[in-house]
Structure 1
Amino acid sequence: MALSGSWSPKLGLDLRGGTTITLTARNATGQGGVSAESLEQARTIIQQRVDAIGVGESEVATVGNNQITVSVPNVAPAQLQEMVGTTAQLYFRPVYATAQVTAQPTATPTPSATPSSSADPSTPASAEPTSGTTATAAPSPTESVNRRPAAGLPTAAPTPRPTAPGRQLTTDEALAWTPTARDQADFEAFTCGDEFPDVPDQPLITCNREGTTKFLLYPAVINGDMLTDANAGVPQHQLSWIVQLQLNDVGGKIFEQVTGALAKKSEPQNTFAIVLDGKVVTYPRLTTAISGGRAEISGSFTQQSATDLANVLKYGSLPLAFDLSEVSNVSATLGGEQLQAGIIAGLIGLALVVIYSVIYYRALAVVVVASLVLAATITYQLMVLLGQSMGFALNLPGIAGAIVAIGMTADSFIIYFERIRDEVRDGRSLRTAIETGWIGSRKTILIADAVSLLSAAVLFVLAIGSVKGFAFTLGLTTLIDIAIVFWFTKPMVTLLGRTKYFGEGRKFSGFDAAHLGAAPRRSPIRRLRASSPKEA
């Protein structure tokens, strides 16, 4: 059972289905532990990425000293893992050489300034990505890289390359780089899937994300810190999705200088690669310098993949590397069953309260029923409004909080009614007892509701996860109970006390003397007649 329509509250993860993943953090360099500051920074970035998906009740929280849990409703596990787990290290690197990768290569091409043609590059103003999928986390670099040696070279393992973050080379330094014999040998021996450290001041040997083309790349000329914005969209008069990148002033000048220099070279050195997490996303061919600091990644993107890539790039790189520790998925069917069970439990509780009220308070139970109906209506409307305005989502603990509110609203009336009974027993008239009973009972009602509000506030601050939903709903319904009892229950009891049926305490009204526990009071005339000698 699920609510539908525009005037419905947002449902939480446990009611409409979704995914919860647990990420375990580690230092990206492999040295040192995980600091609390880095973990919180990573949590903030992941929260921004998840919020960009545009779903309600997304929740990102740190657990312990090295874990982050991410809970998002109605998002596929694979999409969520790719969105939050990628480190998003972005570099622009000129291409020195490319080579096609086959399933069973018979020979390894030798890199040169004009090797075999690369995958169909794009026009100068756009980049034809080799993949339109979202970014995935790159393997962490290792301290030594063992690969097959190139033919005719010694079989000894190559000297380990630097893995620690290097400095950013100047544009002239980067463009002046030339490969050594070791670089060419490693390029020949490299196979897609091998690990190679992605250090900005060193060359990079890598593949595209499908593993169909491998690259020998210059040191980085632009890094992700120079990226100020990334957006996905469909350009005017086009049908394909693209990702537009905007660089800052420094990055824009470097980009113009690099693209101008590369445009004068022959293939494939007139291309530059956009490298995300150690994998080539795209490598456009250049024929002229590109000014303005704007670049485009275009190709076989879908709306989802282009949006995901733009969000990952927009919100920056993670300061830590993460391993996926646990994935749990709640199906929409299971969530619907839980929602149905919660609604049934609430209706049963409401029915029991109404039955008790009718048995004990007779016709006066109309006040209890009307108060409960009004409280339920206001609660529902506020949940809808809060869901649309601030993303509040109703979860299973929240339904439990709403069920507790049924008892709170009925309890407020019980306190008031019992106080009226005490006043009548003390000899006051019914109308007077209604007013004096309210003065005495409202203090008790406010104290009881204040305790509930304090409990809800403490629980909301200290609790994590879906328990916050219970605390929020409990606090909301407590405030509603105060408003109902002050501006509806008491005025309604006063109004009924002035009617003939209730005011005269007729049978089954709930205000009859026998039910209130007080003997009927006779008028002074009747008392005089009963005491006269004639009647005696």
Structure 2
Amino acid sequence: MLQFSLSKKLLIWGVVLLGFLFALPNGFYSRVEQVNDARAAIEAGQSSEELTVKAADWPSFLPASLVNLGLDLRGGAHLLAEVQVEQVYTARMDSYWPVVRDALREERETIGTIRRADGPDSELRVRISNPENIARAVEVVRGLATPVVSLSGAGANDIDVSSAGDTVIVQLSEAERLATNTRTMDQSLEIIRRRVDEAGTREPTIQRQGEDRILIQVPGVGSAEELKEIIGKTAKLTFHAVEGRTQDAATRVTSRQFLAPSIDEPGVYYALKKTPVISGEHLVDAQPSFDQNNSPAVSFRLNPTGGRIFGEYTANNIGRPFAIVLDNEVVSAPTIQSHIPGGSGIITGNFTVESTTLLSIQLRAGALPAELIYLQEQTVGPDLGQDSIDAGKRACIVAFIAVLVFMVLSYGLFGLFANIALIVNVALIFALLSIIGATLTLPGIAGIVLTIGMAVDANVLVFERIREELKKAKSPVRAIELGYERAFSAIIDANITTLIAAFILLAFGSGPVRGFSITLGLGIITSVFTAIWVTRLLISIWMRSKNPKTIEV
């Protein structure tokens, strides 16, 4: 057990050296963080002398990965948002109207004239002039149904069609509603993550809670309001035909229209067709720019399909106003002067440079499928985060010193070997956290403190077994070998059971619980390595150099 080949020694010391190298940047956190930010900016094409100087402030041959600090350590913003999934049902019904209309028009001789009737937002109601043939109208609309694409909705159709008098009623089926809810939440999570990532924030926590809620925690953001601005509104960009203009917010419009306020002209409202000519789905890119008057604006580019539709519409509607609508507010309503081919254009309005940058991020990331209602808002200040870091440092230092003193008093020189392995163990934990890009929170610090206490358990088991063998008049070398050999199974069993608990916490926990489980799990792995290999190698080197006739443990 005390015999180490040269290759095994090199492997152990190599792992220890790499551990200290990867843990080193965390000792110069602010400096390395600035270097990483500068290097990222240079890679993104932002080059300046100041950035070059900052990027060179840390040797390029050294690792620069850091342990990310969580919300409770770094400060930042916390939001709990509720997704208004009912809005998606309304949008689906609006999109069904052209399809249903075209299908029923082919049966006009039987069912007569058709028109859309007013009804609940989650329903599409179509009235026909020949109610005696309502069954035929229902049959035609049912023929438009498609199977639900989800495991829970296998065999079900996406719409339910019924009738009441002379009216066909279309609504989403229960299976389709469940599938829509899942798609809406997944899409909202992805879009929020894109917007937060594009804004340059570090290690956000974005996860679903319950059926229709999303938890958003972003370290390093100044306030909850700033985070809400990054996430923004739905950023739903659409282009609509203008039906009229009024200054009366109570103006009645038909079921095929809606009234949208103007952003640039307070008190002015536009009556717009509900069905958009172009939607955000056709948007390929959006960038901040300037218009012909050198005012901040947003330029956009459409995909080929959107570009073709946009070109055809502008060619057929020269001289008519055309509204650019963002989140149901009219950004501008210019008159079409000529055919606009190519599928690109510019959005002008009362923008600032900052607002065009933010709007571009939101449009590029895609439109949120539904509005977010914020149920909880919380800002964790940097001072509170620093207090948490200081408290965590004190806890780690006190635990570390207490363990070091206990081991030396209990096991003498062998306790000193265990303490060296403990220092290596902590370095390896931070190295692994840095490599995998883990986020350290207060519960994570608690996991490290617990690991410090548990890290010497394996050494205690080994040293106590060595003591027992020495009492049986075994030679020092033989006693050490038997101590490691007979304690090995107990060490493995104890750590595997703890590791299983850590995996369960990781699988079923969330947020702080996962942070605790990650540091605990990594600590167990590094503790076993340092106890079985590092401590034993140190004892082996000492035994070979001193060759003592007796030892005291």
> TM-score when scaled to structure 1?
0.68
2: CA distance between counterparts of 1:78 and 1:210?
26
**Cα offset for 1:304?**
4.6
Q: 1:205 to 1:355 in 2, by over 3 A?
A: closer
Q: Which residue of 2 aligns with 1:322?
A: 372
**Cα offset for 1:419?**
1.6
Q: Which residue of 2 aligns with 1:141?
A: none
Pairwise mapping of residues 260-271 of structure 1 onto structure 2 (< 5 A)? 260-262=315-317, 264-265=318-319, 269=320, 271=321
Q: Of the candidates 235, 245, 248, which is equivalent to residue 88 of structure 1?
A: 235
The letter of the residue matching 1:329 is: T
Q: 1:365 to 1:249 in 2, by over 3 A?
A: same
Q: How many residues align?
A: 406
Normalized per residue, the structure richer in helix is 2
2: CA distance between counterparts of 1:420 and 1:64?
54
1: CA distance between counterparts of 2:492 and 2:197?
38
The letter of the residue matching 2:205 is: E
Q: Which residue of 2 aligns with 1:4?
A: 30
Q: Which residue of 1 aligns with 2:537?
A: 491
Contact kept, 8 Å, 1:431 with 1:494, in 2: the verdict is no
Q: Which residue of 1 aligns with 2:503?
A: 457
Q: Which residue of 2 aligns with 1:14?
A: 72
2: CA distance between counterparts of 1:2 and 1:79?
28
Q: Provide the alpha-carbon RMSD of the alignment.
A: 3.2
2: CA distance between counterparts of 1:289 and 1:336?
59
Contact kept, 8 Å, 1:229 with 1:246, in 2: the verdict is yes
**Cα offset for 1:406?**
0.8
Q: Which residue of 2 aligns with 1:246?
A: 301
| Farther-moved stretch of structure 1 (298-307 vs 408-417) | 298-307
**Cα offset for 1:212?**
6.2
Q: Which residue of 2 aligns with 1:276?
A: 326
The letter of the residue matching 1:361 is: Y
Q: 1:79 to 1:295 in 2, by over 3 A?
A: farther
Pairwise mapping of residues 492-511 of structure 1 onto structure 2 (< 5 A)? 492-500=538-546, 503-505=548-550, 511=551
Render the CA deviation track for 1:340-384: whole Å, top value 9, x for unaligned: 100110000001001111211122222122112112222223333
Structure index of larger Rg: 1
- The 3-state SS of whatever aligns with 1:366 is helix
2: CA distance between counterparts of 1:161 and 1:306?
34
Q: 1:433 to 1:281 in 2, by over 3 A?
A: farther
Q: Of the candidates 440, 447, 457, which is equivalent to residue 411 of structure 1?
A: 457
- The 3-state SS of whatever aligns with 1:292 is coil
Q: Which residue of 2 aligns with 1:471?
A: 517
2: CA distance between counterparts of 1:285 and 1:503?
97
Q: 1:50 to 1:489 in 2, by over 3 A?
A: same
The letter of the residue matching 2:74 is: R
Pairwise mapping of residues 112-191 of structure 1 onto structure 2 (< 5 A)? 148=250, 158=252, 161-162=254-255
- The 3-state SS of whatever aligns with 2:366 is coil
| Farther-moved stretch of structure 1 (211-220 vs 58-67) | 211-220
Q: Which residue of 1 aligns with 2:188?
A: 42
Q: Which residue of 2 aligns with 1:347?
A: 397
The letter of the residue matching 2:308 is: K
The letter of the residue matching 1:312 is: Q
> Is 2:75 the counterpart of 1:25?
no
**Cα offset for 1:95?**
4.5
Contact kept, 8 Å, 2:67 with 2:434, in 1: the verdict is yes
Q: Which residue of 2 aligns with 1:526?
A: none
> Is 2:211 the counterpart of 1:65?
yes
Q: Which residue of 1 aligns with 2:489?
A: 443
- The 3-state SS of whatever aligns with 2:374 is strand
> Is 2:226 the counterpart of 1:79?
yes
Q: Of the candidates 284, 289, 295, which is equivalent to residue 229 of structure 1?
A: 284
Q: 1:301 to 1:415 in 2, by over 3 A?
A: farther
**Cα offset for 1:210?**
7.4
Name structure 2 gaps, 5 residues minimum. 1-26, 33-63, 91-120, 123-171
Q: Which residue of 1 aligns with 2:134?
A: none
- The 3-state SS of whatever aligns with 2:191 is helix
Q: 1:401 to 1:209 in 2, by over 3 A?
A: farther
- The 3-state SS of whatever aligns with 2:207 is strand
Name structure 1 gaps, 5 residues minimum. 100-107, 110-146, 150-157, 163-200, 506-510, 517-536
The letter of the residue matching 1:90 is: L
Q: 1:311 to 1:367 in 2, by over 3 A?
A: same
- The 3-state SS of whatever aligns with 2:324 is strand
1: CA distance between counterparts of 2:279 and 2:208?
26
